[in-house]
Amino acid sequence: RQEALFYVLLVIFGFLFVSENKDDYNDEDEEMAIEIMKRRFTPSVLKTVVWEGYYFADCEIRIKESTDCYGAVVWPSAMVLCHFLETNQEKYTLTDRNVIEIGAGTGLVSIVCSILGANVTATDLPDVLGNLQYNVSFNTKNRCKYFPNVKELTWGKELEKNFPRSSFHFDYIMAADVVYSHPFLEELLVTFNHLCHDDTIIFWAMRFRMEKENKFVDRFQIFFDLELLCDLPSLNIKLFKAVRKKQEISL
């Protein structure tokens, strides 16, 4: 009986120890995660919700709902990236900068970049471009210095034809959850590499759920210098800044 009591106490202390440590570790992260997720709202008056709302850059952004494949949901990674851009405008100013978003999906990141003053090119696969164009136009009309471009970009395909390196120079490349949504990781690497000049900064928000995402990070680090800007374990999201290493790359 004594032995049983001992084990019960052991389990209780073990539990207390674990939960206490978890609190310490998670406090700041959870506060920030809550602050970021609060930026999403749904209209309360309507019975059937036809759009989702977001507050970023002092603006209300409405993304019409859709249930079709990719680009249908605004993944929290996009919100983390938007929140970072909004709260770090002094350090990373977007005004008058050339920005491209790859795998734009719903367009939230492109919309926020446009509102913050950037000249934005939002890109994705051809089948979601119609929706992307609609939602981007709807939310940037009369609000932005530069009207954003929406353009097809299939990773690794016809990059030089559609985005010739001599005439396109992007200051920033935005990517949210691109690894999660696509199986073509090598093509993604080729795309990043093509779009990058020496002074191009990549902002990349990423939800980690599978081993392949860690593998991609390892591979990515061979060619790019990676810096962790923000780690939100409670959302499983990391935000990275990356610049291309100053060496010739042959992929």
Nearest to 64 by CA among 49, 77, 75, 78: 49
Question: Of 60-68, 185-193, 198-206, 208-216, which segment contacts ligand NAG by CB under 6 A?
Answer: 60-68
Q: Is 70 in the site for ligand NAG (CB under 6 A)?
A: no
Closest residue to ligand NAG in the complex (CB): 66
Q: Answer for the pair 54, 74: CB distance below 8 angstroms, yes or no.
A: yes
Q: Is 66 in the site for ligand NAG (CB under 6 A)?
A: yes
CB of 28 to ligand NAG, least distance (A): 31
CB of 169 to ligand NAG, least distance (A): 7
Binding residue (CB under 6 A) for ligand NAG from 54, 71, 129, 150: 71
Q: Is 76 in the site for ligand NAG (CB under 6 A)?
A: no
Q: Answer for the pair 111, 61: CB distance below 8 angstroms, yes or no.
A: yes
How many Cα atoms occupy the beta-carbon half-sphere of 168 within 13 Å?
Answer: 18
The rounded distance, in Å, linking the Cα atoms of 63 and 114 is: 15
Q: Is 77 in the site for ligand NAG (CB under 6 A)?
A: no
Binding residue (CB under 6 A) for ligand NAG from 55, 134, 147, 223: 134
CB of 125 to ligand NAG, least distance (A): 12
Q: Pairing state of beta strands 201-207 and 172-176? A: parallel
Q: Is 72 in the site for ligand NAG (CB under 6 A)?
A: yes
User: Of the two residues 98 and 154, which places its CB atom closer to ligand NAG in the complex?
Assistant: 98
User: Of the two residues 65 and 187, which places its CB atom closer to ligand NAG in the complex?
Assistant: 65
Binding residue (CB under 6 A) for ligand NAG from 106, 110, 114, 200: 106
Give the H/E segment covering residue 41.
Answer: strand 40-41
- Coil, strand or helix: which one is 150? strand
Q: Answer for the pair 205, 175: CB distance below 8 angstroms, yes or no.
A: yes
User: Of the two residues 36 and 131, which places its CB atom closer to ligand NAG in the complex?
Assistant: 131
Q: Which 159-218 residues touch ligand NAG, going by CB under 6 A?
A: 168
Tokens for 148?
């954003």
Tokens for 79?
């919100």
User: Of the two residues 77 and 106, which places its CB atom closer to ligand NAG in the complex?
Assistant: 106
The rounded distance, in Å, linking the Cα atoms of 229 and 80 is: 11
Angle at CA 98, nearest 5°, toward 66 and 61?
30
The Cα diameter of the chain in Å comes to 80
Q: Is 63 in the site for ligand NAG (CB under 6 A)?
A: yes
* List of residues contacting ligand NAG (CB under 6 A): 63-66, 71-72, 98, 106, 119, 121, 130-131, 134-135, 149, 168
